[in-house]
Amino acid sequence: MLRRFRAVLVAAVAGTTALVVAAPATAAVAQTAPQPPKITSVSVHPDPVIVRESGGAPVRIVVRTTGTDRVTAQLEPPSGSPVPVTVGGGKDVWEGKHVIRPTDPEGKWKLVVTAVSNSVQTLAPVQAEKLFTVVVADHTRIADFDAYPEPVDEGDTLNIRGRLDVNEPGGWGGYERQRVHVLFRPENSGSWQYVDSDVTDHAGRFHVAVDARESGWWRAEFRGNGEANGSWSRDDFVEVRPVHVPLDTRIVKYNASPEPVKRGKNLTHTGRLQIDEDYGWTGFRAQKVRLYFRTPGGRWSYVKTAATGAGGAFTIKAKAWRSGYWRVVYAGDDYADGSASWADHVKVRR
């Protein structure tokens, strides 16, 4: 009887041991079982999406998952058909890109992503959604653009003005507090260069004043912002007239003769008027020169006018009544500066 009890006890212990050993094998099977796919996050960059006239706006989507072998995505605009987006990557991070065009609708868009596993079948698609905003940038224009005065003298002030407008739901109106750049292109150049800028006032007006240096084309440019497209004005050509710097002149070889002279007799005044041009001093013909006289301690008084001839030479005859000083003066003009001869003293005898 005791042996039988022992046999049963051994068998029971042996069975218990078998159950204990079998338990770890069951746990290992549970740990290696494939997990269903899971989407941990979905993001859209940028948000909001600002769509401009020039080529549209690129949108980047990022999906983070676990237990996933493939991700599909589509964009659903406020109106129209869904747009599939190609998504690439693998393991935990998936990315896709799409360009939203200016013709696409504004408003709330929806991104729908689906995670798929090749080893685990789910009863329903594993999906996630993300809403984001699409805004089509407003149109702008630069109106009433003008560069004045036209023409303008070199070195004088040239004014550039205009008005920046924006087309909002209520229609066109002045676009305030926006920076407008002023550009210049020389007459014989194909390149635009930045000159200055101004910020628009409450009515969208801007104004820049610059020194006129050379003839060429002027333009104003608005480079856009997060809400509005850029725009530029018409090109306005302004002629800059070079300002002539008067040339130097001089009177050389001046002489009054004879010396001394009898009272009431003629004095002959001779000399040459010269001008300093690019190639040096040369005779300045066809110019008026004036003869002046003064007594010692007196003031200069006008006597006579003559014209210069070949080589700038002049001859002036005038009667001498008193002893004193004589000189010849060239008044000058916009082309040439004035000048005067030295003072020649002549004694008059009775």
pTM of the model as a whole: 0.55
Residues 170 and 221 in one domain: yes
Residues 129 and 146 in one domain: no
Tell me the residue range of the domain where 4 lies: 1-33
The pLDDT of residue 168: 86
Q: Is the pLDDT score of 53 beyond 80?
A: no
Give per-residue pLDDT as tens, 256-269: 999 999 999 999 99
The arithmetic mean of pLDDT across residues 41-56, rounded, is: 89
Q: Is the pLDDT score of 8 beyond 70?
A: no
Q: Is the pLDDT score of 195 beyond 70?
A: yes
Residues 145 and 237 in one domain: yes
Residues 73 and 10 in one domain: no
Provide the pLDDT confidence category of residue 148 given band limits of 50, 70 and 90. very high
End of a domain among 241, 258, 276? 241
Q: What is the number of other CB atoms lying within 10 angstroms of the CB of residue 117?
A: 19
If one counts the domains in the chain, the total is 4
Nearest to 267 by CA among 308, 312, 328: 328
End of a domain among 87, 103, 136? 136
Residues 316 and 226 in one domain: no
Tokens for 310? Answer: 């070949």
Tokens for 64? Answer: 């983070």
Residues 272 and 189 in one domain: no
Residues 120 and 149 in one domain: no
CA pair distance 164, 88, nearest whole angstrom: 44
End of a domain among 84, 110, 136? 136
The pLDDT of residue 190: 92
Residues 184 and 167 in one domain: yes
Provide the pLDDT confidence category of residue 4 given band limits of 50, 70 and 90. very low
The arithmetic mean of pLDDT across residues 136-143, rounded, is: 94
307 has which bridge partners? 288
Q: Regarding predicted confidence, which is higher, 350 or 289?
A: 289
Q: Regarding predicted confidence, which is higher, 326 or 17?
A: 326
Residues 143 and 221 in one domain: yes
Q: Is the pLDDT score of 9 beyond 70?
A: no
The pLDDT of residue 25: 44
Q: Is the pLDDT score of 48 beyond 80?
A: yes
Q: Regarding predicted confidence, which is higher, 31 or 42?
A: 42
Provide the pLDDT confidence category of residue 35 given band limits of 50, 70 and 90. confident
Which residues are CB-contacts of 62 (< 8 A; sequence separation ≥ 6)?
Answer: 41, 42, 43, 45, 93, 94, 95
Residues 161 and 75 in one domain: no
Q: Is the pLDDT score of 26 beyond 80?
A: no
- CA angle, 43 then 48 then 50, to 5°: 130
What is residue 92's DSSP assignment? T
Residues 146 and 130 in one domain: no
Helix or strand holding residue 251 (H, E): strand 249-257
CA pair distance 214, 315, nearest whole angstrom: 44
Which residues are CB-contacts of 91 (< 8 A; sequence separation ≥ 6)?
Answer: none
Q: Regarding predicted confidence, which is higher, 108 or 122?
A: 108
Provide the pLDDT confidence category of residue 31 given band limits of 50, 70 and 90. low
186 has which bridge partners? 216
Q: Is the pLDDT score of 12 beyond 60?
A: no
The pLDDT of residue 32: 64
Give per-residue pLDDT as tens, 291-342: 999 999 999 999 999 999 999 999 999 999 999 999 999 999 989 999 999 9
Asked if 49 and 43 touch (Cβ cutoff 8 Å), the reply is no
Residue 111's domain is classified under what CATH number?
2.60.40.1930
DSSP string, 19-50: HHHHHHHHHHHHHTSPPPPEEEEEEEESSSEE
Residue 197's domain is classified under what CATH number?
2.60.40.730
Q: Is the pLDDT score of 17 beyond 50?
A: no
Nearest to 249 by CA among 288, 286, 281: 281
One-letter amino acid of 274? Q
Q: Is the pLDDT score of 20 beyond 80?
A: no
Give per-residue pLDDT as tens, 311-322: 999 999 999 999
Provide the pLDDT confidence category of residue 119 given band limits of 50, 70 and 90. confident
The arithmetic mean of pLDDT across residues 153-157, rounded, is: 95
Residues 132 and 58 in one domain: yes
Whether cis (ω within 30° of 0) applies to the bond prior to 46 is yes
